[in-house]
């Protein structure tokens, strides 16, 4: 992907993996909608899936947050209308 | 259906009926009984912060306050399982406790005093050895026990939290930074169970925030290999966390 360093592409790979893994592990087993976008000088992955119960403080999600905090510029894990929404953005603004 | 699932069904039924009654009558004795039966939720929440340096009994007490608040606010007609409702409330109470009372971890006076000198020694050894020094090498250089070096290194993350706290930026970003540090503290407890090489790589990547290229340079391997090691170490860490979760739920 133009504009991203090798390090940032690795960060993106980890971010996508974390977002999808969290949605698979903590979703209700229904379909997962995922969107990839290059916007505002960053790569963003967003996913959501229906959940029956969702423990946002599950230790596994703490690990997910820790990893995303390490590789992303911004990220979010939230429950909206019985849907778990997880997103992560890796910016390439710092590339010279 | 075996005996265990019968017991679990019976507990679930008791809890549903009790919450229905408590929602209507607000009976304090019933609240105490519900709290007693669901106290494992508070213990589980407290255990996540067990490695943060605060006495475990204190954490359980704080978590129980969160549990009682959750019982008071829980509306059984919403159809949400109580555990899913209570856990964020309990964790919120614990996080508030850390923010208000300890700002992340307890740091001994010795660790605070040693922290700057340990950092200087690490920097010097980094340059001399052209790699990260081992605990034993730092301890030998400073003529202090390895345990003291570890304490001082742990104080580094606490110090960062303290600096954030002292900056007076009362904005969501401060909370977010503190949350990150608290999340890391929870994860750090499990990191110890990985192999030293895996632990080191994850520590460098997610705690010291080095890039994969920097880590590859530091440990003398390729960036691609570092990427693979990070992925496999995270997978193993996740398995350990899941084992802990299922162990706690069964216990």
CB contact under 8 Å between B88 and A55, yes or no, is yes
Centre a 10 Å sphere on the Cβ of residue B4 and count the other Cβ atoms it contains: 9
DSSP collapsed to 3 states, B169-234: CCCHHHHHHHHHHHHHHHHHHHHCCCCHHHHHHHHHHHHCCCCHHHHHHHHCCCHHHHHHHHHHHH
Per residue of chain B (251 residues), give pLDDT as tens.
455 556 667 778 899 999 999 999 999 999 999 999 999 889 988 887 776 667 888 889 999 999 999 999 898 887 777 887 788 788 888 877 776 665 444 556 666 667 777 777 877 787 788 777 777 788 888 888 877 777 777 666 554 444 333 333 333 333 455 566 667 766 776 777 888 888 888 888 887 778 888 899 988 989 889 988 998 999 888 888 777 766 655 54
Interface test with B, best of A15, A62, A88 (most B CBs within 10 A): A62
Q: What is the pLDDT of residue A48?
A: 94
Surface of A (58-87) touching B: CB under 8 A: 58-60, 62-63, 65-67, 69-70
Please state, in angstroms and rounded to a whole number, the distance separating the CA atoms of residues B227 and B230.
5
pTM for the complete prediction? 0.55
The CA dihedral of A62, A63, A64, A66, to the nearest 10 degrees, is 90
Centre a 10 Å sphere on the Cβ of residue B235 and count the other Cβ atoms it contains: 11
How many angstroms separate the CA of residue A33 from the nearest CA in chain B? 23
Please state, in angstroms and rounded to a whole number, the distance separating the CA atoms of residues B150 and B146.
6
Please state, in angstroms and rounded to a whole number, the distance separating the CA atoms of residues A84 and A52.
10
3-class DSSP state of B60:
helix
Low pLDDT (below 70) residues in chain A: 1-2, 40, 93-96
The partner residues of A77 in beta bridges, in order of sequence, read A86
Report phi then psi at B150, rounded to 5. -60, -45
């Amino acid at each position: 992907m133009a504009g991203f360093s090798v390090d940032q592409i690795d960060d993106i790979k980890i971010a996508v993996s974390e977002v999808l893994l969290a949605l698979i592990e903590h979703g209700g087993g229904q379909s997962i909608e995922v969107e990839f976008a290059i916007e505002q000088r960053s790569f963003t992955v967003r996913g959501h899936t229906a959940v029956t119960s969702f423990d946002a403080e599950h230790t596994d999600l703490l690990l997910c947050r820790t990893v995303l905090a390490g590789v992303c510029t911004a990220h979010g894990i939230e429950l909206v209308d019985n849907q778990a929404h997880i997103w992560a953005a890796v910016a390439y603004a710092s590339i010279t | 259906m075996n005996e265990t699932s019968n017991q679990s069904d019976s507990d679930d039924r008791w809890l549903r009926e009790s919450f229905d009654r408590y929602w209507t009558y607000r009976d304090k004795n019933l609240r105490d009984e519900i709290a007693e039966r669901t106290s494992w939720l508070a213990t589980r929440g407290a255990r996540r912060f067990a490695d943060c340096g605060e006495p475990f009994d204190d954490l359980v007490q704080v978590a129980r306050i969160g549990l009682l608040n959750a019982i008071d606010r829980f509306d059984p007609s919403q159809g949400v399982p109580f555990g899913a409702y209570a856990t964020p409330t309990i964790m919120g109470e614990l996080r508030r406790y850390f923010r208000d009372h300890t700002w992340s971890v307890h740091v001994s006076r010795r660790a605070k005093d040693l922290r700057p000198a340990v950092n200087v020694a690490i920097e010097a050894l980094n340059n001399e050895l052209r790699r990260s020094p081992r605990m034993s090498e730092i301890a030998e250089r400073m003529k202090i026990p390895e345990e003291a070096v570890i304490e001082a290194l742990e104080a580094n993350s606490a110090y960062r939290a303290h600096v954030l706290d002292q900056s007076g930026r009362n904005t969501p970003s401060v909370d977010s930074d503190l949350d990150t540090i608290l999340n890391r503290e929870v994860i750090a407890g499990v990191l110890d169970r990985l192999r030293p090489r895996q632990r080191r790589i994850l520590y460098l990547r997610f705690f010291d925030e080095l890039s994969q290229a920097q880590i590859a340079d530091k440990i003398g391997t390729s960036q691609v290999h570092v990427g693979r090691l990070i992925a496999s170490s995270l997978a193993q860490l996740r398995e350990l966390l899941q084992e802990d979760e299922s162990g706690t739920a069964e216990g």
